[in-house]
Structures are given as C-alpha cells and as structure tokens.
Amino acid sequence: MPSKPAKPKISIATRDPKAPQASAASIEEVARLAGVSTATVSRVINNVPNKASPATRERVLKAVETLSYLPSRAGRALRQQRSHIVGVLAPDLGNAYHALISGSIERALRDQGLVMVLANTGEDPDQQDAMLREMRALQVFGVVMLGAVQSPELEQSLKSNEPLVFVNRRCPYDVPARHVGIDNVRAASEVAEYLFSQHHQGAWIFHAPLKSSASRDRVTSFQRRFQELAGADCPLPEIDVSTRRRDSAYQLAKTHISADAPPRAIFCTTDEIAYGVARHCFEIGLSLPRDSTIFGFDGNPMNEFLAPWLSTVRSPYELFGPAVVDALNAFYDESKASGPFDSILPFEIILSNGLQTAHAPAEPEPV
Amino acid sequence: MPSKPAKPKISIATRDPKAPQASAASIEEVARLAGVSTATVSRVINNVPNKASPATRERVLKAVETLSYLPSRAGRALRQQRSHIVGVLAPDLGNAYHALISGSIERALRDQGLVMVLANTGEDPDQQDAMLREMRALQVFGVVMLGAVQSPELEQSLKSNEPLVFVNRRCPYDVPARHVGIDNVRAASEVAEYLFSQHHQGAWIFHAPLKSSASRDRVTSFQRRFQELAGADCPLPEIDVSTRRRDSAYQLAKTHISADAPPRAIFCTTDEIAYGVARHCFEIGLSLPRDSTIFGFDGNPMNEFLAPWLSTVRSPYELFGPAVVDALNAFYDESKASGPFDSILPFEIILSNGLQTAHAPAEPEPV
DNA sequence: CGATTAAGGGTAATCGATTACCCTGTCAAG
DNA sequence: CTTGACAGGGTAATCGATTACCCTTAATCG
C-alpha cells in the first residue's frame, strides 16, 4: 500500500448536496419489524413494568438496534405536553461566571437525559420576556434564571407555578421560589473581617446594581460587619458601577481613584468589577496587593493565572448543576414539592497569593 | 399612602404549589374565537399570502392577542419534520473563546427566531456522538460544531447531508463542509513576521493538539514563515500541550522554561496556553513582555484588563454568529446550496501594550 | 370449581400544528 | 357569454409518539 497523507483517517464519499434526508425510522417501523404493536414498543422503550415478556422485550430492542431508532422528541412532547428541554436564561455568556455555571448546569442536565436551551438576556426585561414565552411554547421541563430581572412574563410564570429555579440572584418578586446560590451575607461578612484585620481605616466598595439580591446582600452585609468592627463612622465609600461590566468599573475607578491617596482596601461585588478597578490601579502605577488589598466575588478559576493579586470568594461552580437539577426535579416530586426552597452552597475565601505589579502601558509598537 | 419597603415593587399572590398549569390556548380555540377554521389561523400566523382578507386577518390577530396564543413548537415540529432548534456543540464553556462564540451565535439565532441548544462535548467522541443523536431526535434546524472531533455519528451526519457548520476548526473528515473561521495560515504567518522582526534568533512554540485543523494551520504556517525569514536551521522548539488547557501549558512550561535561558519569543496557539506559559514565566521572576515576547491566539477581550503583556490574534467574535446563521440558511436556500463553503472572517493582530511583571507567589496569608 | 387478579398485549384516541386538496365567488380577457 | 385565473377559506389527512381502555390467558385463592 502506498503511504498517503494521513490526516483524515476515514474517508467519506463526496457528499451529495441533493441527497434526501434519509428520514429516521419511526416507532411504527420498529413495531412492524418486531411483530408487535406500537404500544408495546413504546412500553419497552419507556420501561413500563409488567407490560412485556422478556422475549418480546428482546425482539423490540433488537428492532430498535437494527433500525437505529430514536424516538421523535416532537411526537413525545406533543403527547405528553412536556418536553425534555430546560431553558437557561443568562445575562451574558461573555461573563465567565455565567458561562461556567451554564456549563455546570448543562452537564448535570445531560446526566438526567435533559437538554439545555441557553439564551442571553442581557438583563433586559423584554428579552427575558421573549425567552420566557419561547420556553412556554417549547413546553420546557423547567427554566433556570441566572440573574433574573423583574418582567411581566416572569410574574406570569410565577403565578402559573411554572418550574422555575433562580440561581445566584434570588427571585425579584416577593414570593416563595426555588433558589440556588451561596450565602452572600456570610461571605461578605467574612470578607469584611479579613479586610478589617488588614486595614482598620476602612474600605472602598465598588458594587454592581443593587437590583440584584446578590449585590444587595454582599454590600449591606459587608458594611454592617465592617462597621460593627470599626465603628459606625468608619469611612466606607460606596461606588455604584451601574452595569456589571469591567469596563464600567474601569471608567469609574479612573474618576475616583488617584495615585496620591489610593484606597488601602477595595471590596468589589464581582471579580469582573475588580478587574476594571485593578486595571486602573495598575495604570496609575500602584502595585497590587502591596499598595491595595482588592477583593472580588465569584472566584473565576482564571484568577490563579491572570489575577493572582486578587482575593475573592469562590463559588463552587461544579455544585451548581446538580443543585439546580435537584431543584427542578422537586417540582415533579410530590414528596419534595414543599421541601426547602433554598439550596445554599458552600463558598471558599481565596486570598491573593501573588504579588504582581504593573506599569502604565507603553505606546503600542508599530507592526 | 404609607411608604413601604420598596424592593419587590410588584407583589404577587402567594404561589399555590398545586395550582394546575393553566394549559395554553391552542390553535383550535383561536379559530373558534375568531370564527374561522384552524387552517386560516395557521395561514394568518405564518403570513401565507392571498389566503386571508384584511378583515379576517384582523379578527384572527385579535383572537391571538386575546388568548395570548403561542403556537406549540412540538405540534409544528411534528408536522414539519423540523424544529426551530439549532444545536451548538462546544468543547468547553469554561473556555472564554468558546463561551464568547456561543454567545454570539445565540444572538444571531435569536434574530432569526431560532433557539440554541448548547452542549459541552469535552472533545470526547462519545459525548459528541450522544449529542449528535440527540440533535437528530430533535430534528434540529442545524448543528454547529465548535471544535469537532472525529466520531462515527459525525460521519453519519455528513453522509446524510445534515445541516452542519464547523466553526474555527474545519471538518475533521475530508469532505466538503461549511466552515466559519479566520485565516489561521495568514494570521500565523503575520505573527511569525512580527516575532522575527523582534527576535531573529528563533521562537518557541507551545501548541494545542494537532488533530485540530486550526492548531495545525497555526503551527505549520508559523514555522514555514519564520524559517523563510530566518533560514531553515533556525531553532523553533515545538512543545505539544496535549490538552488545550492553561494548567497543562503551565506544567509543561515548568519543565521546559528556566530563568537562566528563557526564550525571547514564545508563540502559543491559543490564549489559554499563553496564560499557562506566562504564569510560569512570572513565577520564575521574568518580566513580560520585557524579557519575552509572548504571542497568543483568539484575543480574549479580558486580555486588555488581565493580560496586557500578551500579544494575540483577535477573532471577531461578533461576526461569528451572523456568519454561522448564513451558513446554516444556505442549506435551505436552493440558490446558495452550492455557494462558497468557507466563510473567512477578518482577524486583528493585537500587540501587547502593557508592561507587567510578577514575582513569585508569597505564602498565602492566614485567614 | 368459580371468582379474582395480574401479566401481556392490542386498538384507537389524542396531543397541536401544517398543508394538500377542494370549493365558491369575482373579475377580466376573449 | 364563456373561460380562466385568482382570492379567500374550509375539510381532513398527517406527522410520531403515549396511554386509556379493552381483551385474553394463566395463576391464585377461598
């Protein structure tokens, strides 16, 4: 055999663009091949007990194998009035925190035979509403709200008791609703204790919009604990980064932080905000964490590589998926229907272990 | 009116966990309310021309509004043998590059009224196969392969001419297949030119597995161009990071790079790999980019904030979504069915503009 | 032995849309 | 006046599953 370039090990006949989509086998064909009715095939596939003898079962499974039969999701959903799809509504996949949690949720769903429809909502009520309607049209198994905002359809969904799980941020309406997240109050309190132990003088706070319960909890708990320790008149300047984006934080840091009197301690309610603040700090010649201790929230795994100067509260990303799936299943399990509505996951305080300094950017070199 | 705590502005009656899911209105009810047949309702909804007088149209739309009718996706999919779902198979949502591209694709799909099912495949052929089967069962509108690997079901999908679009990495089989990505060959060649202009002595290469066409193109093109400029005997040590993860790159950098003779130029085939290599460089006391020029690929937008020392080839994230949607639509458009199979997007060379140094990590401080 | 009960399995209704096919007017061209 | 063409709209088949209901057989119980 002459040696050939080996990259595509298996070669396929050239695709015929006009080849008809060989329509997949239906339950009818399986039934015919196995010599039983479609009812029996359905029962075998769905493991209905006492409805098929071992011999029949075997014949059906053999036919399924032969035809490589896959039940049509549409047929099933139409009849059962329920699909195996779970919608995940996330503010922004560009945010590592949301992307990681979505990833964790997807893996956990897959283990249950469910699939994830993922949508960016941009924290926009209209987009959130459009997607909630879409989820209804899909008759989803459940909806996961990663960073919900108030919106009419969300209200509607709550009223009709649709299977809804809120992640991280709690439900923006005052009704009982399932929730998965960390204990932001305790975490922020521990951060306050740590920062107080390092810098008794006070700390600056850069926070995301307070419409989010997570941001609120983090800010108020931090303030309360710090003032408990340092006295009520302790300065805790509060800067509202009106988005949750690093560039907004960067711009705000520019107007608030100057090299002559930099804050010795900075508490940011998310890592993203910390990145923006830190960028400015580096650009005015500060050295972190020597000149300022900066604390974030979320614990992006990338920090170890790119932001060793950042202390943060790490969320247990991999636990979110299973917890969300449990919360969804509870909607269909009579016995758990009124179980606990909150799933509080453990967090971890990560202290900066790297001393990293930056100088002002040089002029870009010409190509 | 007495002032009340204002957080949840709208209050909802306590949810009744046993409330029946008020089943949504069907096309039948709309037809009854409008006094027409379901056929007419369907035609109005789908804008079939010359099938409804303006008056009828109006009545139907009014009924749709009144009942807040939403067509069942399952009913539609069952009849049309095609859903409005697009599957996106990505190796890992924890990778910012994949997350950003998925986000862009989702937005573009939404603009077309399509929804995205997203799945992590972990570059595992078995998981990829399971998801490809799932996509068939869902009768998806199309499948987007972000980082495809060879697998039996993929072969099968290609053979049956399913609507498949490969992103970034080309199809791992040697058949015509639609592809969206940047011109890796040209990009790597330009990187080689730049690195040569800075450091004629040569460069080290850290690369992801060469099973990926993107990695192959980047490595071979870089080598070819650098050797054209520097001579064939120019040293270009090549280190295979067998995963595409930053921690693997970090470990390999540890065994290959020492402080006494660090490489003056390092070419990494992805930003993630560059992060791992850079971490080691920082830890042994190097200053980047002063001591080494390090080049990545992908252009994570976070670099501006967290890795200003990194030069990189930036992918136009926001262009991926529309390009992918175009490629998918081409499968259903007779006139475009045999159009160009490749959509090559522009890239941008980003040169490091920050000088940032790191010292070895300090002992973690006790809590 | 008769009456129950459980196992095994078939028949056909059902879910909610789309669409092929058919029918009725109207109007303009020839 | 006849003939088409076209607008407007209804009837019913169809997509592929699940499942309520029914039937037969065999085993069990008193």
- What is the sign, positive or negative, of the torsion defined by CA atoms of A144, A149, A153, A157? positive
Is A246 in CB contact (< 8 Å) with chain B? yes
A48 touches strand C (CB under 7 A): no
- B interface test, pick of A15, A121, A290, A363 with most B CB neighbours within 10 Å: A15
Distance of CA A276 to CAs A25, A260, B27, Å?
55, 19, 51
Residues A247 and A287 placed together within one structural domain of the fold: yes
pLDDT at A199: 80
**Residues of B with CB below 8 A from A356's CB?**
282, 356-359
Report if residue A22 sits inside a domain: no
Number of domains in chain A: 3
The answer to whether A10 contacts B155, with C-beta atoms less than 8 Å apart, is yes
Read off the pLDDT band of A22 (50, 70, 90): low
Residues of A in contact with B103 (CB under 8 A): 92-94, 120
Token pair in block for residue B316: 């136009």
- pLDDT tens over chain B, length 367 residues: 333 333 344 445 444 444 444 568 999 999 999 999 999 999 999 999 999 999 999 999 999 999 999 999 999 999 999 999 999 999 999 999 999 999 999 999 999 999 999 999 999 999 999 999 999 999 999 999 999 999 999 999 999 999 999 999 999 999 999 999 999 999 999 999 999 998 878 899 999 999 999 999 999 999 999 999 999 888 899 999 999 999 999 999 999 999 988 999 999 999 999 999 999 999 998 888 889 999 999 999 999 999 999 999 999 999 999 999 999 999 998 777 777 789 999 999 999 865 443 333 333 333 3
Instruction: Inspect the interface and report whether the beta carbons of B275 and A305 lie closer than 8 Å.
Output: yes
Same structural domain, A62 and A127:
no
Candidates B86, B128, B91; CA nearest to B105 is: B86
Put simply, the answer to whether B356 touches A308 (Cβ < 8 Å) is no
Query: Is B358 an interface residue toward A (CB < 8 Å)?
Result: yes
Contact A22 B118 (CB under 8 A): no
CATH of the domain at A40: 1.10.260.40
Q: Are residues A46 and A114 both part of a single domain?
A: no
Query: Quick one: which H or E segment has residue A311?
Result: strand A310-314
Can you give the pLDDT at residue A195?
94
Confidence tier at A202 by pLDDT (50, 70, 90):
confident
Mutation target vs B (from A68, A81, A95, A115; most B CBs, 10 A cutoff): A115
**Of A42, A71, A100, which marks where a domain is finished?**
A71
Q: Is B104 inside any structural domain?
A: yes
Together in a domain, B286 and B197: yes
Last residue of some domain: B38, B71, B104? Answer: B71
Residue B298 has what DSSP assignment? B
Q: Establish whether the CB of A26 is closer than 7 Å to any nucleic acid atom in strand C.
A: no
Give yes or no for B6 touching A (CB within 8 A): no
Place of tokens 């590059």: B97
> Does residue B5 sit within a domain?
no
| Gap between the Cα atoms of A170 and B269, Å rounded | 40
Give the pLDDT score at B340. 77
Q: What is the pLDDT of residues B322-350, one digit of tens each?
A: 999 999 999 998 777 777 789 999 999 99
Q: Phi and psi for A5 in degrees, rounded to 5? A: -55, 130
Distance CA A358, CA A279 (A): 9
* A23: confidence class by pLDDT, cuts 50, 70, 90: low
Q: Are residues B105 and B118 in the same domain?
A: yes
Inter-chain touch B355–A349, beta carbons under 8 Å? no
Q: What's the rounded mean pLDDT across residues A112-139?
A: 98
Chain B residue with CA closest to A363: the answer is B353
Q: Is the CB of A343 under 7 A from strand C?
A: no
Q: Does residue A3 lie within any of the structural domains?
A: no
Residue of B nearest to A361 (CA): B354
Query: Count of CB atoms within 10 A of residue B33's CB?
Result: 18
Is A344 touching B (CB cutoff 8 A)? no
Residues 162-201 of A with CB under 8 A from B: 162, 172-177, 190, 194
Given CB atoms, is B4 within the 8 Å cutoff of chain A? no
pLDDT at B334: 78
Q: How far is B86 from chain A (nearest CA, A)?
A: 9
Segment 25-64 of chain B within 8 Å of chain A by CB = none
Is the previous residue joined to B289 through a cis bond, with omega within 30 degrees of 0?
A: yes
Closest to A144 (Cα-Cα) out of A338, A328, A344: A328
Distance separating alpha carbons of residues B78 and A75, to the nearest angstrom: 6
Q: What is the mean pLDDT of residues A87-116?
A: 97
Write out the residue range of the structural domain in which residue B46 sits: 27-71
The length of chain A is: 367
The answer to whether A74 contacts B70, with C-beta atoms less than 8 Å apart, is no
Does residue A48 sit in the same domain as residue A107? no
| Residues B163 and B274 grouped into a single domain | no
Residue A175 CB in 7 A reach of strand C: no
How many Å from the CA of A29 to C1' of C10? 16
User: Quick one: tokens of B356?
Assistant: 């940032």
| Residue found under tokens 């949504």 | B24
pLDDT beyond 80 at A74: yes
A and B: number of Cβ contacts within 8 A: 271
Whether residue A228 lies inside any domain: the answer is: yes
pLDDT at B341: 87
Confirm whether A6 is domain-assigned: no
Interface check B116 vs A, CB under 8 A: yes
According to the model, what pLDDT value does residue A274 have?
97
- Select the residue of B19, B304, B349 nearest A160 (Cβ to Cβ): B19
Distance CA B105, CA A117 (A): 13
Decide which of A71, A105, A130 is a domain's last residue: A71
At A333 the pLDDT is 87
- Taking residues A229-239, report their average pLDDT: 91
Looking at the fold, whether B312 and B207 belong to one and the same domain comes out as: yes
**Best residue in A65, A83, A138, A196 to probe B by mutation, most B CBs within 10 Å?**
A138
Whole-number Å distance between alpha carbons of A252 and A11: 57
Which residues does nucleic strand D approach, with CB less than 7 A? A 23, 26-28, 38-39, 42-43, 45-46, 69-72, 74-76, 78-80; B 35-40, 50-53, 55-57, 75, 78-79, 81
Q: Identify the CATH number of the domain in which residue B275 sits.
A: 3.40.50.2300
- Alpha-carbon dihedral of residues A301, A307, A313, A318, nearest 10 degrees? 0
Q: What is the mean pLDDT of chain A?
A: 89
Q: Point out which residues pair with A74 in neighbouring strands.
A: none
- pLDDT given at position A366: 35
Do both A189 and A280 map to the same domain?
yes
Does residue B242 sit within a domain?
yes
**Residues A193, A312: one domain?**
yes
| B118 contact residues in A (CB cutoff 8 A) | 102, 106, 116-118
In 3D, which of A117, A122, A115, A116 has the Cα closest to residue A94?
A122
Kindly report, residue by residue over A131-179, the tens digit of the pLDDT: 999 999 999 999 999 999 999 999 999 999 999 999 999 999 999 999 9
Does residue A5 lie in a domain region? no
DSSP H or E run through A38: helix A38-45
Asked if A163 and A49 sit in the same domain, the reply is: no
On whether both B66 and B105 belong to a single domain, the answer is no
